Structure 1
Amino acid sequence: MPQLWLNNKVAVEKNELVSSFYKERNLAQELWRYKNKPYGIKRLQKGGNGRKLLIDFDTLPREIQEALGDPRKVGHILERYYRIDSDTVEYYGDYKRPHSGYLTTKEQEQYIVNASVMHAVVRLEQDRIIERRNKRGSLRGLGSTLCTDVITFNETLKVRHKVTHNIPSNDRRFKEYLKAFKMEGLYSIIKDPMGTGRQNARKVDNSVLEIIKGLFIDGYKPTATEIARNYEAFLSGYAEVYNEKTGELYNPKDFPKLSESTVKNYLAQWEHKIGTHKKRSGNRQTYIANYIPHGQMDLPKKAGSMISIDDRQPPFWYEKGKRMWFYIGMDVASGCITTFVYGKSKEGIIVDFYRQMVRFHAEYNLGLPIELECESSLNSSFKNTILREGNMFKHVRIEANNAQGKIIERRFGAIRYEVEKKAPGWIARPFAKKESNQAGPGDNMIIPYDELVAARLSEIEDWNNSPHHENNELSKWEYFLQNQHEETNHINYKAILPHIGYSTQTSCHRGYITLQGRKRAIAENGKILTGSSLIEKMKVIEGKDVEVRWLDSMNGEVLKAYAYIDDRFMCEVIEMPRFNRAKAEQTKADKAAMELQSHYAMTVIGYAQTTAKQIEKVGFNDLSPKPERKFQIPNLKRYEANEEFAEVEILDEVHPDDNEILYNQNSDAPSSWRDNFLK
């Protein structure tokens, strides 16, 4: 702000000029150029040693003088009161119309100027009221003088602040404007504060939108031009429009005439497209890609935290127009493909996939992944069985046909264009965006099925052995094995075997359950039972038919087997360890197996002996009355029991020579059952 200086001079600081009218270098050149001339810009004081450079106000060009203002001249009365408050700036910056959003920058700037002027008017009014009352003058005409001050203040605003207000200049309207400002403050300055002005002015209201959007979602997917024509036919009486849900018949007299461009513009607006396209879209993936925001997440760092699974058809033909199916599971943290199955169709592929997942993790002694993300088309049937949270996985997220919701979909793109594209017979997408991914010349090759399988499996092998995306020193496979999460799930066979295990009908006989031609022992929690635990199980299943649900391992052996009766879990079934018959070749493992088999058998024998001892011999006399013999055959000899007992004949003692012909039960028997078992 220019300041009075000695001898009625006015001084202007360098910063006031550099910031708005000169560049610092240009200002220095101007001062040097006119230093010794009788005209041009001049210094009042040199800068340096703590002093500020001051410029002579009277030597500045007229436009700069007018912009800065001469303090020797009396300015506009409102200049004394005019200032912009931070609260005013903040209020209009944050204000939001309910129906049209935040104020534009241009609106904010205008409202800030208007409000600041009105604040100045209110302050000036208070001072004038006090002055007139002190002089015992009348307050009549005060509003008109304020209106005049506001009108004339625009010139000062234009010169000094480069802005103007648009406060009403009509005396009556100004007084209404001032009254509203006093009552409502900053809010009163805003034009159409609720944002309903444009809403009320437009012809297309909700009832009109109801018709044009309703016509737009017709099954044959009409264009916006066709909708405009149909709407015109409706207004002209050549067509009827009704609400299919309520049966209401719309009256064309209640609706305005619309141009074709108006109909197109409204149907093209996002707020309407997002609803109409959802009804019209036959491709959910495309709709989601165009309208639905996708999640932005960081990938997990530990293997086993999440597995992403989906089906895919490698872009190769094994017959004309036929491609094989793969179902693939990929560990998200490592990018390693851990589970895969394939076939010529989807039939049964998902059940084989989950079986293979269990086999794989059991083979490497790993827990199942903590979380699963999958698509719903094949997995929905398992939602209440193996995919119920807590059975196979702690967390399960099933995406309803949403490619962006599964990380494996993005990995498939890399496999397709970085790996498979180099292979013979690769088929391009019909509408690939990149020229390099479009089909080349010639027809597609036919690759025999067996060769196709071998090539794709080889690519999975190469993929797992390729460098990890973050740690190039490790392959995806090495990263997977070395960075397992500590809380991966133990394999809950009891929960999953009833749903994905193979079923075999068999029976329990003499403590063994036959499976795959081998007699297997009764067990629980991975341990063959002996003692009272074994007896309790045999009381329930011995001699009964059972259903064994089992799963094979990677090498074809039985990985885990459980026995059920009427869908009730009975026991685990484990193959009894075998031992070498020849003592000379027996190892420690053989001796341990021999000991276990002995305990297993002795449990049953011991129970039989204990049970037998507990049985007391009981006599039985038949006291029922004898039937009267009314029919008899003459001369037939009958045995009639005498009521008196006959004397028992006492035989002589056995002669010692006769002992040789009697069987001695102990003469050929071993000392114990164990000796017989081990013989």
Structure 2
Amino acid sequence: MEMFGKTLCVTFDDLVGSGVMSKANYKRYVREEKFSFMQRGGNGRKVLIIYDKLPDKIRTEIDTKNPGAKDKIKKQQINPMDHRLKSDSKAVEFYKKYTPKISLDRQTEYVLNVKVLNAMVALEVSMRDAQGKCGFQNNKEIREKVIALCENLRERYRHTLPKARLMEKYAAYKKYGYAVLVNGNSGNQSARKVGPMEGRLLLKLKRSKFPVYTDMQIFEEFNRIVEERNARATREEDKLKPIASPQTVINYLYKTSIKLWWYGVVHGEIAFKNEFMPQFDTKLPDMPNTLWYGDGTKLNLYYKEYDKKQKRMVARTIDVYEVMDACTEVFLGYSFGAENFLTQYDAYRMALETWKVKPYEIVTDNQGGHKKPEAQYFFKRICHLHKTTIRTTASPKPSKALSDASRCR
């Protein structure tokens, strides 16, 4: 017997090799589809048949020949949890040098929590490897085992990881490391605040394209600039405050209100819109002639023409303006030519004369003369509502205060 995830299965040897049934009888059962396979054999794979779906006669015969095998296999699936925590010298050094200073009691608490989180990570990795070899992933089972390990270690070592938001803290630890365990109220937090002048300099460094800085390089470059500026400053109000911890830089730059000012420059306009712009789901109408939409495009119809400048024959094509119904996707009208008011008029006139009905709403883009007065008047006459699609906007431009960041040097 073997476990495939949470499913108890029997192998070919359990049935034929142990004498429960003959090979010919086994083949007959397979041919008549009396077995429910979790995994079929071949190419090095082992045959796995679901135990609970075996015929009652065969299941009774297996239990008689191997009493207690079912319970033994299921107990083996629940591996005894290792309560021995491994030391982490890097965590000890991190909290020892952390700024602002952390008390020794707090350092001991944080290091213990790190050891527990490391044990949880090791368990998750081992379970994913084991499940991967079996060809499946059971995230719910992994999550339950990881939480169970944490609670067992809580009883033994009295660690202080949260219960209600444990997996949220666990995910943050895997992503950001030791700093996520530090209590925001520990130490002198005034040393971690970033003023407006310091913030403008951090934004300038983050938005820099030549060179491009990492977060750690921004921390180092910021303190270098601050040191040079403070050495030249004659007035106290012109001096900048250095930042003691790289985590302070990360906490400031990745706040949503600050992230808005550099995300588009660093990652591009499309990434900015995906991150911050509202996402709309378009719901198509349920009735015909509720919504018509039109747009111009290239027609996939090519012909040869002599080009006087190149003095040779070249391939040409033509534009076409099309009108379609949004509900039925029926092709209503068209007009050949560049996208302008004349081709729009001809296309919509064909649609109206052919189908003898007016739409409730028409949607067009902002190009091709749709904003011209004659176009607006024409669309108002043939529908109740005419709308244009929303044009995308770029990421916000830096304010005047941000443009003055160069003064921080």
TM-score, structure 2 as length reference: 0.39
Structure number with bigger Rg: 1
Say which structure is richer in helix.
2
TM-score, structure 1 as length reference: 0.27
